[in-house]
Structure 1
Amino acid sequence: MNFPRAYGAFVLLSASIVSALPKRQSAPSNFTFSTVGTVPGAVNLENLAVRHNGDVLVTSIRSNTLFQVSSSRNTTASEVVQIPDVTGLTGIVELEKDVFYVAGTNLTGSSSSPGSNGVWRVDLRNSSIDGNGCVVQVITLSQVADLLSTQLINGLSSLAPNDTSHLLFSDSVAGSVSILDVETGLLEVVVKDPTMNIVSGGLSVGVNGIKTYGDRLFFTSLDQHLFASASISLSTGHATGPVVPIVNITGSADDFALSRDGRTAFISLNGGNAILEVDIASKSSRYIGSPLLESISSVALSGSRDQFKSESLYISGAIVVDNTTTIGGLFKAQPCFGVGCAVQGI
C-alpha cells in the first residue's frame, strides 16, 4: 500500500545490486527501468493488473477512479470507471478474461472508515480502445459485496487458475485472509496467523500483498518485514499447513508478483528505491534499485518475453513533479544480460 510521503522515510537503497542469487541459465543479470506513463488524476498508484491486450489497469488509494495506461504509447492515463461511495482503491484481480474485481475503501492515514470496504466487478468484455488510448463503449460495473466486518481490505488474489467464482483478500489491520464468493457475496476468514498481524511501532499494516501458486498462498507482512507462504485448500481456501517464512526484508514489503514458474517473487519496497527479487526455493534475495522507484507499491508481469524467455515487469508508484507534488507513475523493468549490463533508471 502506497502511503503519503510522510511515511516514506525509509533507508534509500543505491541503484546497484546489493547481493546476487545463484545464477540460473538465461537469468537476467540486471534490469533497466523506464517510465511507461503517468496518471495526473492520482497522487500515487497502488495496484495494477495487465490486460490481455497489454494495457495496464491501475488503482490509487487517493482516487476512486480505475485508470488504464497504454503499454504502447507514453501518454497520460485514461479513466475507465469511477467506483461509487469510496475514496480510494486497493487491490485488483482478473478472474476471467477482461472481468476484473476491484477493492475499494475510505482511507484515513493507514486505516479505513468502518463499513466502507467493498469489492466491485468491472466487466470490460464489451469495451474497446480508441485512437487516443481511451476506453470506450459499454463498461459494466456492479458491487459484489459490502464487507462490513473488514477493517482494511488490501490485496486481492485468485484462489485457483480456473476458479472464476472465488477470490481471496487480505485484511491488513485484522491480520487475516478471507475468501469471497463473487456470485453470492458470502465471505469467510480462511487464514489467520500471528505473522500477519500489525505490530506496535509499525505502520499498522500487517498482511499486505497476496498471491496463490498451486496450493500455496504467498504473502507479504509489511509491519513484520516478512515474505512467507502457507499451504491452502484450492476448494475452500483454508490453510492446510503452517506459515513458512521465506525471507526477512529490510524495508516495507508491499505487493508483489510471482514468476510464471512460481520460483521467483518480485516484491515492491515502499519508500526503498528498489524491488526485492526472491528465489523462493533457496530463500535468498537481492535488491534491484533505481531512482525511479522511490515510492512504489506493486509489481506485475508484463506478459511479453524476450529471446531469453525472460519477462519484463510493470511497477506502480509515484513521480515527483516538484519538491512537494507527486502524480501516479507506471514504470517498466526490462531484463538485460551480460557483463556490461547495468541497472539504471531512464
Structure 2
Amino acid sequence: MTEVATLEPLLPSQVLHQFPAPSWIENLAVRSNGQILVTFCSAPEVYLVDPSDPSKTVLIHKFVNVTAMSGIVEVDHDKFYVAGGVCDLKTMTSEAGSYRLWEIDMSTFDTNGEATVKEALKLDKIGCPNGLELLSRSEKIILAADCEHGALFKIDITNGTHETALQVDEMRNPENPFIPVAINGVKVLKEYLYWTNTSKALFCRAKIVENGKSFGDVEVIHQGFIGDDFCFDSNDNAFVTQNPFNTITVAKSTGGLVTVAGRIDQLDVAGATACQFDRRKGREHMLYVVTNGGLAGPVNGTEVEGGKVLVIDTTAFKTG
C-alpha cells in the first residue's frame, strides 16, 4: 500500500451549485465553452450547470424507462453520449440488460434552449457502464467500464455494436466485495488505458495496441488505493475522486499519492464521484468536481447533504 501525503494547505474550493438532498451526481462532461453537463445516479436526469452563472442551472433531459444515469463523454463537438439503466443505489446493482446509450446534441441548445436527444443503442451485454471514455473520435468508438462484470467494453456508435475489449483480474470484483463496484473510472492517455478498481483498491494501466484491438500487460500503479473516477492534468497527474473518503487525491506522474482537497470527516467534497478540468484557455487549472453528498458513506456516520458541483483551483499544486 502506498503512503498518502496531504497537501498543506489544501486547495481552495467553491460550490457552484448544490442540488436538494438526496441527490447522487455520478459523472460530468465539460463543454468547450466551459458549461458542465452532470448525470445523476439518483434520478434519470442530465443537468447543465454554467460556472459563469450557476443560477441558470437547467434540466437538459429526463429519460424514461430507466432510473439512473452513469457515464458521459463527448464524441463530436457538442455531441455527448450518456448511459442510463435501472439501478438500485442501496445494493449498487443494476437490472440485467437495462442500460442504453443516448446521444445529446447540445448545438441546438445554444440556438433554441433545447438539446436534441435520441437513443443510440442498447447496451444489453453490459451490467453497468460506469465510466465512459473516447477511444477514437474519427471512428466514433467509446470505451465503457462495466463495474458489475469487471470488464472493459468497446462501443462502436457507427455500427451500433458493443463487445468485450478486455477482461483481466485487475478489473474484476473480488469474492464477496464490500462494495460491488470493480473497474470504475477509465481514461486514455498517451496510448495507455488507465482505470480504477474500487472493490480491489487498484489504480492500473495497460498499453493500447492497434487502437484497442488488444492491450499490453497490466501495470498496477497503486495498490490499496480506493478511487472512483479521475482525470489528468497537463502534467499527466491523475486527480482521483475518493468517494467514500470525501477527498481528492493525486496520483502523481512522478510517483506517490497526495490528498489535495477534502477530509474524511468534512462535507467539503463529501462523496466525490468524478472530476474534469475546464477546457477554456487560461482556465485549464480549474477542476470541476461532482459529489453524492455522502450518500455512499455519511460523513461522521450521519451527515449527508445534496450532491453538488464545485470548482477547485489547482494552481498551488506542485508535483514535487
Does residue 33 in structure 1 map to residue 13 in structure 2? Answer: yes
Q: Distance in 1 between matches of 2:317 and 2:274?
A: 27
Q: Distance in 1 between matches of 2:287 and 2:121?
A: 31
CA contact (8 A) 1:144 1:183 kept: no
Q: Distance in 2 between matches of 1:122 and 1:99?
A: 6
Does residue 255 in structure 1 map to residue 229 in structure 2? Answer: yes
CA contact (8 A) 1:35 1:330 kept: yes
Aligned ranges 1:232-251 → 2 under 5 Å? 232-235=208-211, 237-250=212-225
CA contact (8 A) 2:209 2:216 kept: no
Q: Distance in 2 between matches of 1:75 and 1:183?
A: 37
What is the aligned residue count? 304
Runs of 4+ deviating beyond 6 Å: none
Unaligned runs of 5+ in 2: none
Q: Distance in 2 between matches of 1:41 and 1:75?
A: 18
Distance 1:213 1:232, change over 3 A: same
Shift of 1:170: 0.8
Map Cα deviations across residues 6-56 of structure 1 (whole Å, 9 max, x no partner). Answer: xxxxxxxxxxx95269xxxxxx98511110112338612110001111111
Greater CA deviation, 44-53 or 120-129?
120-129
Shift of 1:310: 6.2
Aligned to 2:83: 103
| Root mean square deviation of aligned Cα | 2.7
Map Cα deviations across residues 298-337 of structure 1 (whole Å, 9 max, x no partner). Answer: 010122465xx861110000347x9676322001111244
Shift of 1:259: 1.7
Q: Distance in 1 between matches of 2:232 and 2:214?
A: 20
Aligned to 2:169: 194
Unaligned runs of 5+ in 1: 1-16, 22-27, 130-135, 340-346
Aligned to 1:180: 155
Map Cα deviations across residues 100-151 of structure 1 (whole Å, 9 max, x no partner). Answer: 000101101211011101111111112128xxxxxx4342211111111211
Query: If the length of structure 2 is used for normalisation, what is the TM-score?
Result: 0.87
Aligned to 1:112: 94
> Which of 109, 112, 135 does residue 127 from structure 1 map onto?
109
CA contact (8 A) 1:255 1:297 kept: yes
Shift of 1:216: 0.8
> Which of 257, 270, 274 does residue 285 from structure 1 map onto?
257
Aligned to 1:214: 190
Query: If the length of structure 1 is used for normalisation, what is the TM-score?
Result: 0.80
Shift of 1:181: 0.8
Map Cα deviations across residues 184-243 of structure 1 (whole Å, 9 max, x no partner). Answer: 2111111111001111232111100001112111100000111111111353x2333111
One-letter amino acid of the counterpart of residue 289, structure 2: I
Q: Distance in 2 between matches of 1:186 and 1:338?
A: 42
Aligned to 1:25: none
Shift of 1:279: 1.5
Aligned to 1:53: 33
Does residue 326 in structure 1 map to residue 299 in structure 2? Answer: no
Aligned to 1:87: 67
CA contact (8 A) 1:31 1:334 kept: yes
Greater CA deviation, 283-292 or 211-220?
283-292
- Which structure has more relative contact order (CA 8 Å, sep 6+)? It is 1
